[in-house]
Chain A
Amino acid sequence: MAWHRFLDHTSEITLHVGAGGWSALLAEAGLGLAELLLRGAAAAPDPENTGWRPLEVASHDREALLVDWLNELVYLAETGLWVPQEIEIEEASETHLKARARGVTVEEAPSLVKAATFHDLHVRDLADGLEAEVILDV
């Protein structure tokens, strides 16, 4: 079962996420970020396309892929006024992911999260899955 929570940090927000596998962890991290992006926002079903949007990210290692994935979603939220609500990871290696997502549009671009950072970035293998921590600059 995938889960996420937000940990205290003096000035930023730490996203702590866990899942049974790498694909599920990436999807859950995206949903955790989406929760922050929609905080206080007026959201509505995507009027242009209520179907699935294709998403693709490539990086040079597993940790960087997680950061780049979250930064892709920050970018789409700020420029496209769109935040995912359902995410399906179709393919995920340590350096590449293909996904599709359905979401909502927002009246104002979410400005809480500036970026996902590499600081204290962890992806840990556990006996029953993985967990990760990413500090988000807010």
Chain B
Amino acid sequence: MTDKTTHYPAVRLDPVCVEIPKSARPDMLVPARVWVDEELWKKAVSDRTLDQLVNVATLPGVCGCVHAMPDAHEGYGFPVGGVAAFRAKDGVISPGGVGYDINCGVRLLAADIGYGEMKQRLEPIVHDLSRSIPSGTGRGGALKLNAPELDRVLAQGCRSLVERGLATQEDLEHTEAEGSFATADPDKVSSRAHERGKDQLGTIGSGNHFVEVQRVETIYDEEAAEALGLWKGQLTILIHTGSRGMGHQICTDYVRAMDAVMARHGIKLPDRELACAPFDSPEGKAYFAAMCAAANFAFANRQVITHAVRQVFQRALGDSGDLRLVYDVAHNMAKLEQHGKQKLVVHRKGATRAFGPSHPETPAAYRSVGQPVFIPGSMGTASYVLVGTDEAFGLSFGSTCHGAGRAMSRTAAKKVKSGNEVRKDLEKQGIVVRGSTGELAEEAPHAYKDVDRVVQVVHDAGLARKVARLRPVGVVKG
């Protein structure tokens, strides 16, 4: 049935998917699919998400369908929550399709103890976390690097941290791409990006980035939870951050560079922020190498923060505070992947890779259930653990959502409740919070969509499978 809530001739294919056919606009090369139920569809049509998604469907070499996940909202260039794949042989790569926070992602740590066993120590632990992990871009992060050391991080990611004692072999095995893209080239990273990133390793950043202490509230899939080492009542920690100023500057540099050469490549765009170049061009190759370097920096950033978190818990709880890395997964990346007979450059901007049990890149430890996926909700709601499905590979290039998704601007959120009110609300729920009052107001739960609904859509659609629901008990905001 054709949907009347948008000027696009959208057709609901099933209870969790709406399609905009490629006939909707003359310049579309492929259809667009929006993974939403009726309620989330109302959100999708309330801003310019669909316009941005349709714009992506016009880019050279795009194939299959372009996708908006249920948490999608208006961004710049691509919508946040957008997925698009381009043929490597004649398609493009777009820095705006990855975003400024390259390899923004999440990682989950799990303790061997239940939350109840450390509940009395929660407040000092959250306080210690806020002191031990720099949140903003201060005069220095947790790890000072000279230029060659920074280049090693850019080239090797988490692998460069093993000999420093900041990462273990098991950590690498439980990180997407083992925390290191060999295709990274620090020489393609500008001196400005080096300068912005040089003292930011081990920092959270601002916005919606955080370190959250949680307890496992609900298990939906016992077999998958056991494979992931999760159980009801368990203490977990979720870390959400990315490549900081390093990634921001690399995106800035390459959007600018590609904007200048698109005419030479004969590319015309409906939006300049979609600036792109053929993947196989010098500009495309240079961006891909620099983006992979930023991704390595982001993996290493989350790893250095992990080390600091482990130290906090060991100080407080001794051996009971040991924390195992369950997995680390990116949600702002362009990756070269084999899909059937084609090599595709899959852009996920605010979307998570969700490979199923049979995919060779799913870590050996999780081959029985699928790659872990973490969906952070907003403060005070819940986060989810899911696993990827083989089905998603055919449905969405093996992709799923990345969060609850903003539903309200920062200004609007602050008008609903002040930072102090948000803090009090969270404290009433027993959640210990550290973070600036302004950030709390902008990132309050009411600014986001209903994470339970978002996750249910991807579960029902087969884009990922629910494993567990995590309840926050302590939050350190950027």
Contact = CB atoms under 8 A, between A and B. Distances in A.
Q: How large is the interface on A (under 10, 10 to 19, 20 to 34, 35 or more residues)?
A: 35 or more
Contacts of A138: 207, 410
A12 interface: yes
Interface in B435-465: 436, 438
Interface stretch (A46-54, A108-116, A123-131): A108-116
A23 interface: no
Contact of A112 (B101, B206, B251): B206
Top 10 A-B residue pairs of the complex, sorted by shortest distance between their CB atoms: A119-B76, A119-B273, A118-B272, A109-B137, A8-B409, A114-B248, A111-B137, A111-B206, A118-B273, A108-B138
Contacts of A110: 137
Contacts of B137: 78, 108-111
Contacts of A121: 272-273
Contacts of B136: 108-109, 111
Interface in A94-116: 107-112, 114-115
B436 A10 contact: no
B281 interface: no
23 contacts: A6-B411, A9-B409, A10-B406, A10-B409, A11-B406, A11-B409, A39-B438, A64-B260, A75-B192, A78-B137, A79-B245, A81-B139, A108-B139, A111-B478, A112-B206, A114-B245, A115-B248, A117-B96, A118-B76, A119-B271, A135-B76, A137-B76, A137-B99
Contacts of B195: 75, 79
Interface of B: 47, 73-77, 80, 96, 99-101, 136-139, 192, 195-196, 205-207, 245, 248-249, 251-252, 255-256, 259-260, 271-273, 275, 406-412, 436, 438, 478
A134 to B, nearest CB: 10
Interface string A63-84: 1100110010001001101000
Contacts of B47: 10
B411 A8 contact: yes
Given A79-B195, A115-B248, A12 B76 contact: yes
Contacts of B255: 117-118
Given A8-B411, A12-B75, A118 B196 contact: no
Given A10-B73, A81-B139, A119 B272 contact: yes
Contacts of B196: 75, 78-79
B282 to A, nearest CB: 18
A138 B272 CA distance: 19
B411 A119 contact: no
B100 A40 contact: no
Given A112-B207, A117-B255, A118-B275, 15 more contacts: A6-B411, A11-B74, A11-B406, A12-B76, A40-B436, A78-B137, A79-B192, A109-B138, A114-B245, A115-B100, A118-B76, A118-B259, A118-B271, A137-B99, A137-B100
Contacts of A118: 76-77, 96, 255, 259, 271-273, 275
Contacts of B408: 10
Contact of B252 (A6, A10, A111, A115): A115
A120 B76 CA distance: 8
A43 interface: no
A75 B409 contact: no
A89 interface: no
Given A75-B192, A78-B245, A60 B252 contact: no
A2 interface: no
B206 to A, nearest CB: 4
B412 A8 contact: yes
A13 interface: yes
A112 B135 CA distance: 12
Interface in A1-59: 6, 8-13, 39-40, 59
B259 A64 contact: yes
B256 A64 contact: yes
Contacts of A71: 252
A117 B274 CA distance: 10
Contacts of B138: 107-109
Contacts of B245: 78-79, 114
Nearest to A67: B256
Residue of A63, A71, A117, A121 contacting most chain B CB atoms (<10 Å): A117
A112 to B, nearest CB: 6
Contacts of B260: 60, 64
A20 to B, nearest CB: 26
